[in-house]
Structure 1
Amino acid sequence: MTKYLISFPSGAMVVPEHDLPAVSDAAHAVVQEAKDAGVWVFGGGIDESVPPVMVNADGTVTEGTYPQTKQIEGGYSVLELPSYESALEWAAKIADACRCAQEVRAFHYDPAS
């Protein structure tokens, strides 16, 4: 089976404050459904209050990140699924719960795992 990254940037989730509890409940319900189905690998939101750093091979740490990844934030789910079509179905469930479109990407197969 293939692992899929299903994600959205923080700015895509525009929800009135009074709807946040319902969105949270719906998102937790989809996560539980994925866990019950045995497809949940990992998920969560990026803690945007912690700035990114770069760690070099020698252990040197510098502030910042690659220019092309400067805007990584938002919510992420990794699901292990039998097909791309299945990933699209789960992405639709997450989009409905979070009230915003989801991006779907497949991880390369790792024969060692």
Structure 2
Amino acid sequence: MNTAAVQSIAPEIPPYAMPVSTLARMFGIDASEIEGYAEQGMLPRLPFGMHDAFWLLALRRGLNATSQLPNPLKPHVVMGIGWLIGVDMTFDADDLAAGAGIFERNGLTHEEFLASIGAAISFCGM
């Protein structure tokens, strides 16, 4: 019998999907902080216990930018603010398509991405 026919092959994991331990090392934070984001609904869970590194990057940028607010913003607005910071507050159609792709691969829609960017722009006074 062909060896490949009897051995399971792991599904292809996209390069942006990483386990908590890897993300914690990359971001220099404790793994429990990342799990906390996921438990609070700020960081979507991907299959196989993974999370999107780009989502986490934008989320942390947004959290840093809004940390002094008396009331926390909704996670999608924080994410939008972090995304705007990541593109240096200027973007074109390609940037918007890439940003929407991050939302879509995390179970959200293009429309939800645009709504988050609209709310973030409004918050930033752009």
Structure number having the greater helix percentage = 2
Band of TM-score, shorter chain: 0.3 to 0.5
Give the TM-score, by structure 1 length. 0.34
Structure 2 length as normaliser, TM-score? Answer: 0.32
With a CA cutoff of 8 Å and minimum separation of 6, indicate the structure with the bigger relative contact order: 1
